[in-house]
Amino acid sequence: MLPGASDQRVPVLPGEIAVAEENPSPVVPSLQGTGDNLDKHPTGVWGPVVEIGLVPVAMANLPSGDILMWSAYEEMMFGGSNGYTQTVVFHPDTGSARSRTVSETQHDMFCPGIANMPDGRVMITGGSNDAEASVYNPATGSWEDAADMNVGRGYHSNVALADGSVLAVGGSWSGGISVKDSEVYRDGQWVRLPGIRGGGSLATNDLQGQYRSDNHMWLFTWKGNRVFHAGPARTMHWLDTAGQGSVVAVGARGIDGDAMNGNAVMFDSGKILTTGGAPNYNSGSATGNSHVIDLNAGGMARQVESLAHPRAQHSSVVLPSGEVVALGGKSRIRLFDDRDSVMVPELFDPDTETWSSLAPMSVPRNYHSAGLLLNDGRVLVGGGGLCGNCSGHPERNHPDVQILTPPYLLDSSGHLKPRPVLADVPAVADYGQNVSVSVTGGVAEFALVRLSNSTHSTNNGQRRIPIEFVANDDGRLQLDMPDDPGVAPPGSYMLFALDSSGTPSVSANIMLG
């Protein structure tokens, strides 16, 4: 363990409901600040490691603030197509986790594509059961069977589109090795898009061929119901889902080569930060390359300061301030191997386009790990492993999570800063609507962060959108909702108010579109 890392573990209790009982205060800090509002903490603070009973290979935000997580047909092992999945719903405010075996959709959801849908449900497609599609309904806590895909796939990418449909691209890890047609889920059915195929310059030049080269694509919905393909292949593209689909090449991503298991995240409207990655899925050295891609300029990429710690198999999480946290990963790529782990997260400042180091983690987070933003502005990361008894592997399973309190929530002494308090936020808003809210405490800006999902270093739903506002004579604030569903795809968002020092409120959930 590195100096400064916490090795305290909060276990779960046996049974369906697992509750973190040891010293819950680091897991659930008071939402009210006790410190001053002058300086930020330089590195942030980690809470204890919380056991949840399975390796959380995949995660998705839920409108309640809870996190849906799952592994495979077993809590610590994957393999075959077994027709059921081990899941938990994790409650960050208490550190508890409710476990459930999901069998009603006949879907082993290991290594899937994921999309947060416009109505707040979560769609999971393919993976070990390669053609299946399942939907989790957080309003009822139930699982629903969706129409099977036309093409079996795993390690593919899903993305929610501006018109409310879901696109699936690639995925030769499962369902056969081939250059696969993409397909789109509209009106309850999957429709092939033979004009968008998961090969050629959309794919990397992996040493293991097509089996790996069409995995984990970085896809970003944008205006005109188009999708920007940012990587991990070196060449970037625009994908048009109209008709049978079409592809237009944009060009190379700056100095990058192929960047498999790197990250991409939209940290501002139309601006994407890419980090790290490696030339092959299961070999080679990671890079620290970082680029900003501007969709407002047609997809132009320019290099920014590199990560101090080259990494792949990591997670990147956008904060409501526009900062981005890169967590975990490793410098040399070998699956099921904790050697060469990067324990120091890094924080990207969008104003200076530079990185700074944060407090080290307690647990390596590499292959089969995931990370997400929480609705109180903290960052959750967990998982790694899923190798059974891990015999013969220099890694062990990590059936746990840990929560980072970032610098913007803390003063220089490590106390929670005072933060704005949002109130009177409507549950639903339409595009272009003026929304009235009230805020206690100072406010300098607002931001929407879309509920999203994470698995295998990929999160195509994550994006932050700054919101313009004006003050009314009565002290209430009028917010201008985005007017284009390409900029803000329909769905559930966390609305944050931030003060002049960048400290965010606890978010309010708002459904847009």
Q: Catalytic site residues?
A: 367
Rounded Cα gap, residues 413 and 33, in angstroms: 12
Cβ of 1: how many Cβ atoms within 10 Å?
11
Instruction: List the structure tokens of 244.
Output: 């049978």
**Residue 405 to residue 376: CA distance in whole angstroms:** 10
Evaluate whether 108 touches 129 at the Cβ level (below 8 Å). Answer: yes
Task: Tell me how far apart the alpha carbons of residues 10 and 23 are, in angstroms, rounded to a whole number.
Answer: 8
Side by side, the strands of the sheet bearing 189-197 are: 157-160, 166-169, 181-186, 189-197
CB-count exposure of residue 483 (10 Å: 0-12, 13-18, 19+) = exposed
Q: β-strand 235-240 against 346-349: which pairing, if any?
A: unpaired
Distances in Å between the Cα of 350 and the Cα atoms of 35, 273, 291, 347, 500 are 26, 9, 12, 10, 16
Q: Which two tokens stand for residue 384?
A: 């790694």
Exposure string for 206-216, b = 16+ CB within 10 A, e = fewer: beeebbbbbbb
- Please give the backbone phi and psi of residue 225, each rounded to the nearest 5 degrees, phi first: 60, 25
Q: Answer for the pair 368, 456: CB distance below 8 angstroms, yes or no.
A: yes
Q: What angle do CA 364, 388, 74 make, to 5 degrees?
A: 105
Sheet holding 300-304, edge to edge: 263-268, 271-275, 290-294, 300-304
Distance separating alpha carbons of residues 84 and 143, to the nearest angstrom: 12
Distance between CA atoms of 488 and 448, rounded to whole angstroms? Answer: 9
Q: Beta strand 315-318 with 300-304: parallel, antiparallel or unpaired?
A: unpaired
- Greatest Cα pair distance, the chain, in angstroms, is 68
CB 348 within 8 A of CB 323: yes
